[in-house]
Homo-oligomer: A and B are copies of this chain.
Amino acid sequence: MGRNLVRLKGFDKLTDVDEAFSIFLSRIKLKRLRAVKIPLKLASERVTAEDVVADHNLPPFDRSAVDGYAIRAQDTFDATQSNSKILKLIQNGRIGKNETGLIWTGNMLPRGADAVIMLEYTKPLQDKIEVRTPVTPGENVSKKGEDVRKGEVAIKAGTRLKSHHIGLLAALGVTNVKVVKKPKVAILSTGNELVEVGHKPRLNQVVDVNRLILSSMCLNIGVKPLDLGIAEDNIEKIKSKIRMGIERADAIITTGGTSVGYADLVPKVINQIGPPGVVVHGIAMRPGMPTALAVIGEKPIFILPGNSVAAMIGFEVFVRPTLLKLLGVRSEPRPVAKAKLTRRVPSALGRQVFLRVCAFERGNEFFAEPVSIKGSGVLTTMTEANGYVIIPKDREGLDKNENVLVHLFDNLRREECV
């Protein structure tokens, strides 16, 4: 209990969440990191650094979309169930009037033909086939350039590469792709009371779970965590760790040492290291009120509260969007669900509240069950929840049955939440 008490009163002024983030963004030039070229087979979930332009048409020529017979559609216009049309089967070359050739899916349409009739709709008769249904021009043909035209942007810069994008790039003959370098984020926990995960805490000690949680959140968006360990509540120790982070990483996250009782230890250290330093401290949000945002040189620094749920919400609201900018991702909102709130929830007027909810589906409708708010440090409010609802700061609460937008960080449940 031997901390310095420099300032014991609360924050003089709390800054609104959106305003806080705007102030922070106005004080830093967030540039997308540089591009690296990697093999396509390793590019799943990476973010493209440039537009990928098709250097040829896809398909490269008119090709059959089915197994069947290449034909001139007009030869079948008068075919009906009762009035079949006979076409002569040829092995090679141009398809002439009333001629046809066997063709497989993906094969080039022979000259003369403008459509393909599926095998299933024909009857083979030695060197002829019988057709009883008309075919329209272009039917079952994938036209040259139909998928992607030469010169067209096939995949835009800033795309997180999913399986389907990988497939399209492969089809275009791309084997290496320019993606954005993974940002490196240094993660530091501060506090005399902290012990490493796996160490049995003595009385007044607490297991430091924040580095593990934040590392996992970084990995989930394709960012490399760099572990700075635990620093005691000591200005020089914190300073040397943060300096190391600034040298080696693209962004820094700290937890702890930010609330007024801790004498603003981390914000103070940051202001000593270099300008502009802390640009916002004290945010009108719950949880997360003691959060601070800082910049040193060109490096963003997120000073999150020590309590884990507040740190997670701080990551979600400030860190994640910043890291996505470093990654150059065009847009990557959380999945959302519109749901009915199962019960009334009081809120903190003047604070934007991040209400943890468990969203589930019942009888074709979505519901959001508030996870009982005990302490904000209670980890089970995150594990029992699968998303959060933002309660605006001018609301005293949300009503039962009110329609809310749930931002999902885990799967929507198909069965009721307990």
Contact = CB atoms under 8 A, between A and B. Distances in A.
29 contacts: A1-B103, A67-B260, A68-B261, A104-B261, A105-B261, A106-B306, A107-B204, A147-B380, A155-B383, A163-B220, A164-B213, A164-B312, A164-B379, A164-B382, A164-B409, A164-B410, A167-B379, A168-B209, A168-B380, A168-B382, A170-B197, A170-B212, A171-B308, A171-B379, A173-B197, A173-B200, A333-B412, A333-B414, A335-B411
Interface string A136-180: 000000100011100000110000001111111011010100000
Contacts of A185: none
A143 to B, nearest CB: 8
Output the residue of A148, A168, A259, A412 with the most chain B CB within 10 A.
A168
Given A108-B203, A197-B175, A413 B216 contact: no
A111 interface: no
Contact of A209 (B155, B171, B412): B171
Interface stretch (A2-10, A20-28, A292-300, A390-398): A2-10
Interface of A: 1, 3, 8-10, 40-41, 44-45, 58, 60-61, 65, 67-68, 102-108, 118-120, 122, 124, 142, 146-148, 154-155, 162-168, 170-171, 173, 175, 193, 197-198, 200-201, 203-204, 206-207, 209-210, 212-217, 219-220, 259-262, 306-308, 312, 331-333, 335-338, 361, 366, 374-380, 382-383, 408-415
